[in-house]
Amino acid sequence: MRLIKSSKETTGAIAFSIGYLLQPVLTSIPNVRYTVNGETVRKICGVRIKSTRAALPGCRSPLCTPPPNSSKIVFKGRVQKLFAFSVTMPMTIVRNSHAEGKDSIRFGPTFTGDVWADPIIAQEGFAVMNVMFTPCARTHWHTHEGGQLLIVKVGSGWVCDKGGEPQRINVGDIIWCPAGTTHWHGGDKGSCMMHTAITHGAMTWGDPVSDEEYSKAK
């Protein structure tokens, strides 16, 4: 996984991660097409996006990766550094995602300790929710089919890759868990931790994180 603590990295990390997560959605839209030797890279909702052979600076999102024989994506004559193009698409706005009468969900068998969640939205293979871990509570080992982005909002906690050492996470930290990697995350020993989790694809759950494994978090 990648843990981002520097504010200078935050914008680029969010752009990269959201770009990666949105790639399957954008490439599944009708009217999206690729050409290898022609000028058109993509045509989305009738918007023509051209390419040249020059290098594309500043953008590490997979959406900026052009097809063979092309390495720069231009929209309306200039490079878009964040996602390399702009496009108008239907959107969904979730207002007051914890509305009156909408109870939080208490997670069960795949978590250790008390863990609560407020689901925000789930569609197009994505799930977004706020998750609160009480002290020492944590997930089981698990894997995300399309990756997961965590944004710590409250308190402090821990995140750990399989075979790695636990890393402390605090408010403002952003964690990118690539597709197929196995990890766990949870609250600190003396602190709750709440993060926003943006998940793509199915999850595969593994064994519980033992007290011995959790005790390595120091």
Same structural domain, 115 and 202: yes
- Calculate the alpha carbon distances from 164 to 34, 37, 198, 204 in Å: 39, 44, 22, 19
Same structural domain, 136 and 205: yes
What pLDDT does residue 74 have?
39
Same structural domain, 69 and 112: no
Whether residue 126 is contained in a domain is answered as yes
**Are the beta carbons of 44 and 31 closer than 8 angstroms?**
yes
Same structural domain, 113 and 59: no
What pLDDT does residue 92 have?
80
Same structural domain, 64 and 144: no
Q: Whole-angstrom distance between the N-terminal and C-terminal Cα of the chain?
A: 19
Whether residue 90 is contained in a domain is answered as no
Whether residue 86 is contained in a domain is answered as no
What pLDDT does residue 134 have?
98
Gap between the Cα atoms of 21 and 78, Å rounded: 24
What pLDDT does residue 15 have?
53
What pLDDT does residue 174 have?
96
Gap between the Cα atoms of 203 and 16, Å rounded: 21
* Structural domain for 123, as ranges: 105-214
- Copy the structure tokens of residue 128: 């977004």
Whether residue 62 is contained in a domain is answered as yes
Note the pTM of the prediction, 2 decimals.
0.63
Task: Give the DSSP letter string of 120-160.
Answer: EEEETTEEEEEEEE-TT-EEPSEEESS-EEEEEEEEEEEEE
What is the residue-level pLDDT of the chain in tens, covering all 218 positions? 777 765 455 555 555 555 555 555 444 444 444 443 444 444 444 444 444 333 334 444 444 444 444 434 333 333 333 334 444 557 788 887 776 677 899 999 999 999 999 999 988 899 999 999 999 999 999 999 999 999 999 999 999 999 999 999 999 999 999 999 999 999 999 999 999 999 999 999 999 999 999 999 98
